Amino acid sequence: MPSSKSLLEFLDSLAMAEELVVAERPLPDPPSGATEALGLALRGGAAILMVSSFEAFLHALFLERLGSLTQQPPVIAFSKLPDRMRLKSVWESLGLAMRGPRGSKTERVDRLAEVIYAARVVGAEIVSPGAFAETKANPGPGTVQEMYADVGVADIFTVVRGGFDALWGRPEASSFLKDKLEEIVGRRNAVAHAVDVRRITRDQLDEAILFLKALATVLDARLESQVNDLLRTCAP
């Protein structure tokens, strides 16, 4: 299966986090002495950057892959989509148009054009990719599971486990995917919200980079497969 543009861009972004990890390796372990602040900054920066990159990947991936369902003339019959997917597309697209971007404080009149456009899309029974792409600044396992469930893939971590294991190359616990992603996102949060950097180890960062590469690869492939299934089963 061809990789998405979103995956390729994510791997480029992840390479920047990897460069921070590489730059820190010649320094004392654990960070200490005259270069202590530099070592901590590099470790903390890598922890934040890799999660930010993964979050951006999820958002871009759903926009890109679900964009295939919006082609005109219609390539799917909206009424044939799963109920959960139709509800998500309608309610969330209208909600996003009315609320505006996360953290924005625009007036209602400033949102009017987008609300009218969203209403037209709903009326035309066109899938709204943006309705499925929101991560709410939390790319943890719960968010990933919900995003995939919204497009008809239940229990995504079980579904992709075989493909992940083939890339990972060593046996892990049944809950490894959820647990490791939770750990990586939690580490980012500890740095961003509490400046808790001293407990981050080189091994943790090295493993996190490899993990996110493998996870993103199988998530991309599974969403492509799901979109192809929808194009086949929900054809007009």
What is the pLDDT at residue 102?
A: 73
Cα separation, 164 vs 214, in Å, equals: 6
Range of the domain at 109: 5-233
Tokens 């460069």 correspond to 19
Query: What is the pLDDT of the chain when averaged over all its residues?
Result: 96
State pTM to two decimals: 0.95
What is the pLDDT at residue 127?
A: 97
Q: Say yes or no to pLDDT of 36 above 70.
A: yes
What is the pLDDT at residue 2?
A: 78
**For 71-108, what is each residue's pLDDT tens digit?**
989 999 999 999 999 999 999 999 999 988 777 778 88
Cα separation, 76 vs 89, in Å, equals: 14
**For 126-159, what is each residue's pLDDT tens digit?**
999 999 999 989 999 999 999 999 999 999 999 9
| φ, ψ for residue 27, nearest 5 deg | -85, 165
CB atoms within 10 A of CB 183: 15
What is the pLDDT at residue 126?
A: 96
Cα separation, 62 vs 93, in Å, equals: 14
For residues 199-222, average pLDDT: 98
Q: Say yes or no to pLDDT of 182 above 70.
A: yes
What is the pLDDT at residue 1?
A: 62
**For 44-73, what is each residue's pLDDT tens digit?**
999 999 999 999 999 999 999 999 999 989
HSE at residue 126, side-chain half, CA atoms within 13 A, is 17
Number of domains observed in the structure of the chain: 1
The alpha-carbon radius of gyration of the chain (Å, integer) is 20
HSE at residue 103, side-chain half, CA atoms within 13 A, is 2
